[in-house]
Amino acid sequence: MDAREIRHVMGHFATGVTIITTKDKAGVPTGITANAFSSLSLDPPLVLVCIDKKANCYDCFEDSGLFAVNLLGEHQEHIANRFATKGIEKFQDIAWHMSGNDIPLLDETIGYIECTVGPGYDGGDHTIYLGQVIHAQAAGERPLLFFKGKYQRLRKRTRSAWGARGRMRWARAGLKPAPTPPCAGTSRVETCP
């Protein structure tokens, strides 16, 4: 398969959007937009991040020994775009602060995870880094998502919307719908542009 086909298929898997931040050798903050992030283990607390070997800040991750995963909220698409753009000052006009662990953190995110850099593993055009979690916090806000090559947001779907759509499908098929399940009164979540 060629890279374009793989990217197309992988785009059908919705992910959260993060900014991975660290510092260069001079202590200057740097970061990149990434959706290649995952929780790996609860005991010990580990995450993994995948960093493109061509990223301007690639060497900074091992040099610094620390990084943070900043979880973006639905209102922060502009930050995702800024950190995905090459050749610009990423932190200019972005509210941020240095954590107590001396890691750059973006302000007003829905959460962050501070880590020490663990082993790196070859992952083709990326390096897979393990991160030992040293501090984490979440605000419980709505996330920014990435799906089919576009930023997306969560939208609540009410019972009546599910019911109307379901009734139309059953009617078109000439079938009688099944009884309403006990969970029908709960809200469901879907993505929307």
| pLDDT value at residue 186 | 44
- The CATH superfamily holding the domain 3-147 is Electron Transport, Fmn-binding Protein; Chain A (2.30.110.10)
pLDDT digits (tens, 9 = 90+) for 125-149: 888 999 999 999 998 789 988 778 7
Domain residue ranges of the chain, discontinuous segments joined by +: 3-147, 158-192
* Cβ-proximal residues to 80 (8 Å cutoff; 6+ apart), any chain: 17, 19, 33, 72, 144, 151
- Write down the pTM of the prediction: 0.76
pLDDT, tens only, 76-128: 999 999 999 888 889 999 999 999 999 999 999 999 999 999 988 988 888 89
DSSP 8-class letter at 86: T
Tell me which DSSP letter residue 102 carries: S
Q: Which one-letter amino acid corresponds to residue 141? A: E
Note the helical H segments in the chain: 3-10, 58-64, 77-84, 159-173
What the block records as the tokens of 49 is 């991040």
